[in-house]
Structures are given as structure tokens and as C-alpha cells.
Amino acid sequence: MKKLGYLRVSTADQKPDRQIDGLRFVCDELFVEYASAANTKRPVYEEVIARLNPGDGLVVWDLDRAFRSVVDALIEVEKLKERGIHLEIVNLNIDTNTPGGMLIYTVVSALAEFERRMLSSRTKEGMAAAKARGKHVGRPPKLSTAQLDDAIARIGSGTPVNKVAAAFDMAPWSLTRAIKREQ
């Protein structure tokens, strides 16, 4: 029986260190994926699942590192159970190999989704409140007003958009979008 650890972080800037530290002593191998939970394509996850055989275990540190929603979590665990594979969530000490573990897993899945939805709701409320107060929400503009005026003038004098964008170290579509926002 082997235990394969699946770790996921949303961006390459994030570090999986916490997950690695939690899983390295309980897993035979660790697999790290750099992908948002919203991604429908997760090649590393698919590779791990394909390598598991009856009696093996899929091990994750947190529930939200592997699944996007309650429905996703329950469907995936059922698929694993049909193949004779169990899921372990280390930081919650849950093993779906037992009836009690499966019950706790189901409840925790629902709570995790509730938490994600509440966080999303609070974030949207905060952004709306900031916008209502005239605050800029999101990344800071790549170009200052003077730089944007310069770019518009260059394009107006016949310089191709891609050349102007390169001069400001940005993608042409970003420059075009900035100009449209300005107008």
C-alpha cells in the first residue's frame, strides 16, 4: 500500500512548504501542483490519481488543497472508493477508509465550502465599499497619466501599438485596454 501526497498552491509565488512539512513523513511521494482551485484542468492531480491502485491512499494536508466544492469533494471520494482507494486529510486526521471518517469528511467538506463562499462574499463587499469611497481596487496602473498620454500621442503619430507597448515594457493588449479605459 502506497500513500501519494497531493499538494496544491494557487500561484508560483506561493510556497508549498507548510504542506510539504506536514506530508513528507506520512507519504511515499509528494506531488506539487501550481494551479488555482478554479482550474478545471489539473494535470498533476490527474497523474497522482492515475498512479493509485486498490489499497493505496491519496493524502492531502487540507481539504481545500484537493477539491473545489462539496460536490467535487464527494464525487471524487466516491470515485476513489470505487477503485479501493482512500483519502486522508492530515491536518484534520480524517481517513475516509472508516465510516466515521467518511461522515466527518462530508461535514468538513460542507464547512470548507461555506468558508470559501463567506470569504468571497466579504472580499466582494470590501471591494464594493472601497469603490464607493472612490478608492482604486485591483492592481495599480502600469502607466502614469503622463506615460499614457505619451503612448496615445505616439500611436496617434503612426507608431505601431506593439512598438509603443514594448517601449513601456508591457503587452500590446494591456496598452490598448489602458487607452480604452482612459477614453
28 has a pLDDT exceeding 80: yes
Q: Which of 64, 70, 59, 65 is nearest to 94 (CA)?
A: 59
Tell which of 96, 116, 136 closes a domain: 116
Distances (CA, A) of 178 to 95, 132, 148: 51, 22, 8
Domain holding 160, by residue range, is: 145-182
Tally the residues of the chain. Answer: 183
Three-state secondary structure call for residue 114: helix
- Asked whether residue 125 is assigned to any structural domain, the reply reads no
Is pTM beyond 0.75 here? no
Higher-scoring residue by pLDDT: 71, 45: 45
**High-pLDDT (> 90) share of the chain, %:** 57
Q: What is the CATH number for 26?
A: 3.40.50.1390
101 has a pLDDT exceeding 80: yes
Question: What's the rounded Cα separation, in Å, for the pair 106 and 110?
Answer: 7
70 has a pLDDT exceeding 80: no
Report residue 74's pLDDT band, with 50, 70 and 90 as the boundaries.
confident
Report residue 71's pLDDT band, with 50, 70 and 90 as the boundaries.
confident
Three-state secondary structure call for residue 105: helix
- Asked whether residue 123 is assigned to any structural domain, the reply reads no
- Asked whether residue 133 is assigned to any structural domain, the reply reads no
Tally of domains in the chain:
2
- Asked whether residue 69 is assigned to any structural domain, the reply reads yes
pLDDT at 53: 96
Report residue 62's pLDDT band, with 50, 70 and 90 as the boundaries.
confident
Q: Which residues belong to the active site? A: 10
The mean pLDDT value for 170-179 works out to 92
Beta 57-60 vs 3-9: how paired, if at all? parallel
Q: Which of 29, 26, 32, 27 is nearest to 8 (CA)?
A: 32
pLDDT at 11: 82
Average pLDDT of the chain is 89
Q: With contact defined as beta carbons under 8 Å apart, do 29 and 4 qualify? A: yes
